[in-house]
Structure 1
């Protein structure tokens, strides 16, 4: 803990200047390393971004991956997904949206009456209700570079199709399953920035997904959900499998993260690395915590601090109302000495040069 990171260059040239993806490199919210590529989610739009390693600490050759060409999305084509989690496992790339309600931000230069009225307006975005998997197809013999496709026929003749959990403009099967939950149901109708329900992390283990919640934080406890998804490889629909004898389709883990919420998840062996940060619209402490043996956890559980180890305290900035330097995504880059890559939403001026963004790579024991 406390060791300084090295800086890594992320070059989004070509994509950052396009009208369709302008500014996406300044709103990175999730990242996953797959071979020699980094896959990113952003707060805006409906596309993933992909970079390829061109030097040890430089990633470039930016490519946008529009999800509306791979999936039938529940919302409109211009309805943002708010991608908050990405992971790869067993030849699939998994993606989740935030599922959160949006509250309008008051305009600074408007009259008070208009600003107050705007603050009362909330909306649901259909594309935010997304949990999906996409087939990964190797683009080189070593399997270090991949693309994602809507469908592919594997060597054994099985067709692998992109699939998602069914949903509408207002909900999906995940939020429907939580409607009777004593802990989480009251927060499903509260905007994410108000400590409402807000998914901001994903880690895949086969067909079992771990979803970290930025909110709600309950009496200082952050929540991680575990769900197991059924679905044939050639089906474009995913189903929540029952997780308990009473028919519940998810497991709940309540983590003592110092009052912080979950901002991202990634595996390191059988341990789950948790990027924890402030809930709501706050700037504050950000820390990476190791949840030891999480892969073996089953059933509802309280996860106390004796099962958690602080790996890194991360710098953050909050110099304005919007704030800067928000650590939002983590992934392990499997070099000779594996490193934990941290990417930021609203990177400050010291990190941005036109379409180039600097990220941090922390050593891992």
Structure 2
């Protein structure tokens, strides 16, 4: 099956319209002077340490507080319940997603995004070549390991979880039902514009997924790479019911103008449309922005203020719609490279 391509046209943006994002709430004293929300208990990362690789968050509702939510960390095999209140996050129980191993060692799921639809969380893996910043993986000698890693991450895991199953402190009252959708690799391989980039390394403009969001009756999957035509990022959409029913979705490829060498770092649904967190496709520092996609139009909402931790710029990786009023929308941004994501509320245009 070949995905039907739909080019999303960008709105004409004036300086007056493209306002910068501003921090919501009073500044917190510290090296960055940002209003970082407190995390109680612990968001878990690799080996039981505090997470430094938060990559996705979604909640059972996009209105009111507290909210029952799920967070994914890309170096573990489980997701974690989180209660989001206005000003803090309360970490709760974990939910195993996969159990893959290679030579007796667990393989990372490389979970990159979370959304909630029809009574279930959907958690997506990167569907790409394993991260290898130091070029330790040899394509021939380590072929079996690379294949196993790609297989572990090439899934959408459904976690059926009613809000009433989650206690006020993030504890699970009943076991969640988990099932897996494995049809996305075939959809990606059938799209001529994406197929050449499958299983390539990220530093070779390889295909990797970093966002997922349910909006209207469709599931949107956002790709960090490849960067197509230099300034187009790819978003693939398909009917939610086909994914959750393990069917054969008829997919569409949307080419989104996010700028030269930029891709999707996360997606989030909001009442005003699909929100896109955009950032560099390649490794390294760069600017991060939030866009809105609605009715085949792309609108830049502003730039995410940079944040440093331990002298290093962190990378915004997770986006959550909080609320909106006459002054605009509030979103929560969590970052890779910061302990427990350093959750920051930001105010953007309505």
Q: Work out the CA distance in 2 between the residues paired with 1:195 and 1:183.
A: 13
- Please name the residue that 1:251 is paired with: 252
- Secondary structure at 2:335 match in 1: strand
Q: Work out the CA distance in 2 between the residues paired with 1:4 and 1:274.
A: 17
- Please name the residue that 2:39 is paired with: 11
CA separation of 1:98/1:269 partners in 2, compared to 1, >3 Å: closer, same or farther?
Answer: same
Q: Work out the CA distance in 1 between the residues paired with 2:202 and 2:55.
A: 15
> CA shift at 1:326, angstroms?
0.6
| Aligned: 1:101 with 2:129 | yes
Match of 1:138 among 163, 170, 175: 163
Q: Confirm or deny: 8 A CA contact 2:100 2:106 kept in the other structure.
A: no
| Aligned: 1:310 with 2:300 | yes
- Secondary structure at 1:334 match in 2: strand
Number of paired residues? 307
CA separation of 1:361/1:117 partners in 2, compared to 1, >3 Å: closer, same or farther?
Answer: same
Q: Confirm or deny: 8 A CA contact 1:99 1:129 kept in the other structure.
A: yes
Match of 1:221 among 228, 232, 236: 232
Match of 2:49 among 6, 19, 22: 22
Q: Work out the CA distance in 1 between the residues paired with 2:243 and 2:125.
A: 22
CA separation of 1:335/1:309 partners in 2, compared to 1, >3 Å: closer, same or farther?
Answer: closer
CA separation of 1:129/1:47 partners in 2, compared to 1, >3 Å: closer, same or farther?
Answer: same
Structure 1 segment 159-308 matched on structure 2, within 5 A: 161-166=177-182, 173-205=183-215, 208-219=218-229, 220-230=231-241, 238-241=246-249, 243=250, 250-259=251-260, 260-269=262-271, 271-293=273-295, 307-308=297-298
Q: Work out the CA distance in 1 between the residues paired with 2:165 and 2:316.
A: 32
Match of 1:58 among 88, 93, 97: 88
> CA shift at 1:181, angstroms?
2.4
> CA shift at 1:8, angstroms?
4.0
CA separation of 1:230/1:188 partners in 2, compared to 1, >3 Å: closer, same or farther?
Answer: same
Q: Confirm or deny: 8 A CA contact 1:263 1:274 kept in the other structure.
A: yes
Match of 2:335 among 324, 330, 344: 344
Q: Work out the CA distance in 2 between the residues paired with 1:254 and 1:149.
A: 41
Higher normalized contact order (CA 8 Å, seq sep 6+, divided by chain length):
2
- Secondary structure at 1:280 match in 2: coil
Q: Confirm or deny: 8 A CA contact 1:10 1:356 kept in the other structure.
A: no
Q: Work out the CA distance in 1 between the residues paired with 2:223 and 2:165.
A: 36
Moved more, 217-226 or 118-127: 118-127
Q: Work out the CA distance in 1 between the residues paired with 2:113 and 2:57.
A: 7
CA RMSD of aligned residues (A): 3.6
- Please name the residue that 1:67 is paired with: 96
Deviation string 1:234-291 (CA, Å, 9 cap, x unpaired) is xxx72222x2xxxxxx110001111210111112225211111000212211110111
For normalisation by structure 1, the TM-score amounts to 0.72
Structure 1 unaligned regions, length at least 5: 108-114, 152-160, 167-172, 244-249, 295-306
| Aligned: 1:91 with 2:119 | yes
Q: Work out the CA distance in 2 between the residues paired with 1:64 and 1:163.
A: 19
Match of 1:334 among 323, 326, 334: 323
Q: Confirm or deny: 8 A CA contact 1:47 1:64 kept in the other structure.
A: no
> CA shift at 1:53, angstroms?
3.7
Q: Confirm or deny: 8 A CA contact 1:29 1:43 kept in the other structure.
A: yes
For normalisation by structure 2, the TM-score amounts to 0.75
Deviation string 1:163-199 (CA, Å, 9 cap, x unpaired) is 2113xxxxxx211233232111110020234321101
> CA shift at 1:10, angstroms?
3.8
Q: Confirm or deny: 8 A CA contact 1:29 1:345 kept in the other structure.
A: yes
Q: Confirm or deny: 8 A CA contact 1:202 1:264 kept in the other structure.
A: yes
- Secondary structure at 1:99 match in 2: coil
> CA shift at 1:21, angstroms?
2.9
Deviation string 1:35-76 (CA, Å, 9 cap, x unpaired) is 42342111211111232245x31122x1242323xxx65656
Q: Confirm or deny: 8 A CA contact 2:334 2:341 kept in the other structure.
A: no
CA separation of 1:358/1:119 partners in 2, compared to 1, >3 Å: closer, same or farther?
Answer: farther
